[in-house]
Amino acid sequence: MTNKRTLVIGGTGKTGRKVVERLSRLNRKVRVGSRNANPAFDWQESSTWTETLVGIDQVYITFQPDLAVPGALEAIEGLTREAKIAGVKKLVLLSGKGEREAELCEQVVINSGMDYTIIRASWFNQNFSESFFLDPIIAGHVALPQADVKVPYVDTDDIADVAVEALLDETHKGQIYELTGSRLLTFKEVIDEIARATGRTIDFTSITLGAYSKMLEEFGVPSDYRWLINYLFTEVLGDERNMVITHDIEKVLGRKPKKFSEYVEEVARSGVWNPEVEVGEET
């Protein structure tokens, strides 16, 4: 078991880098799958997959930007074929909770003939500190659609811990886990909590999805990314099944999920949400 070599695709991303860190601390053999690694792994260049899979026993798979986007299914099908040819024995796939398109990718892994674990995660806490919500928070003006939808945000620390357990413990073979936090929060509640923790004034405005899409276009956001945002805000956030708290983190880890308030306190202490001080301005 300790000799198994793990490829972490997306090994520098939100969950992947934490999976790499955890496996490395346990002295497990880890290969980082990213464009800047050696050998390099690039989802857009299937010619890079074969070399990256050489000597690998198990793979943690994350797909950017999301398994729901066009082309993701074909990429997962191709990678799965390559992994089986390479002699990989186990796949752990990070999927999205409530994403029907992502479930098609899950079926590819499930029917691959290799051992598998599927991890369906709710929206990440870290979307507010490492992703598309960060800049508006720093600016102090957040405008989003679906203002009244409640989301059980999950922390990437918990996702990484579950992924490592799935990679190292055979009891998780053939399991599908749905990971959420322990609280349901609206966007306004999230922004209010961040504002309190940082001691800042951060305005929140509810807008239509059409207005939000137009705003993204005006800011030069690529069309494929705007498509994904539209999908997430309608198909995922609009599905009441995603407004449900699960207990799979407790089932796998034997502890409760990381509290959203703990996440907010940690990030607030780091200063990530503070506006940058202009050159020459007193601090």
Q: Quick check: is 210 in a domain?
A: no
Q: Are 122 and 158 in contact (CB under 8 A)?
A: no
Examine residue 257 and say whether the peptide bond preceding it is cis (omega within 30 degrees of 0): no
Q: Quick check: is 221 in a domain?
A: no
User: What pLDDT is recorded for position 226?
Assistant: 87
Tens of pLDDT, residue by residue, the chain (283 residues): 568 999 999 999 999 999 999 999 999 999 999 999 999 999 999 999 999 999 999 999 999 989 999 999 999 999 999 999 999 999 999 999 988 889 999 999 999 999 999 999 999 999 999 988 999 999 999 999 999 999 999 999 999 999 999 999 999 999 999 999 999 999 999 999 999 999 999 999 999 999 999 998 998 888 888 888 888 898 888 777 788 999 999 999 999 999 999 999 999 999 999 997 443 443 3
Q: Quick check: is 50 in a domain?
A: yes
**114/3 Cα distance (integer angstroms):** 18
Q: Quick check: is 116 in a domain?
A: yes
User: What pLDDT is recorded for position 3?
Assistant: 81
Q: Quick check: is 91 in a domain?
A: yes
Looking from the CA of 111 toward its CB, the CA atoms found within 13 Å total: 8
Which residues, 6+ apart, have CB-to-CB distance to 259 below 8 Å?
Answer: 181, 182, 183
Q: What sign for the dihedral angle of Cα 233, 239, 244, 250?
A: negative
Looking from the CA of 161 toward its CB, the CA atoms found within 13 Å total: 17
Examine residue 152 and say whether the peptide bond preceding it is cis (omega within 30 degrees of 0): no
Q: Quick check: is 164 in a domain?
A: yes
**260/71 Cα distance (integer angstroms):** 33
Q: How many residues does the chain have?
A: 283
User: What pLDDT is recorded for position 278?
Assistant: 42
User: What pLDDT is recorded for position 282?
Assistant: 39
Q: Are 37 and 147 in contact (CB under 8 A)?
A: no
What CATH number does residue 17 fall under? 3.40.50.720
| pTM for the predicted model, two decimal places | 0.94
User: What pLDDT is recorded for position 2?
Assistant: 61
How many folded domains does the chain comprise? 1
Q: Which two tokens stand for residue 65?
A: 């930007």
- Write the secondary structure of 18-55 as one string of H (helix), E (strand) and C (coil): HHHHHHHHCCCEEEEECCCCCCCCECCEHHHHHHHHCC
Q: Quick check: is 69 in a domain?
A: yes
Q: Are 159 and 166 in contact (CB under 8 A)?
A: no
Q: Quick check: is 98 in a domain?
A: yes
| Owning domain of residue 61 | 5-121+155-179+244-257
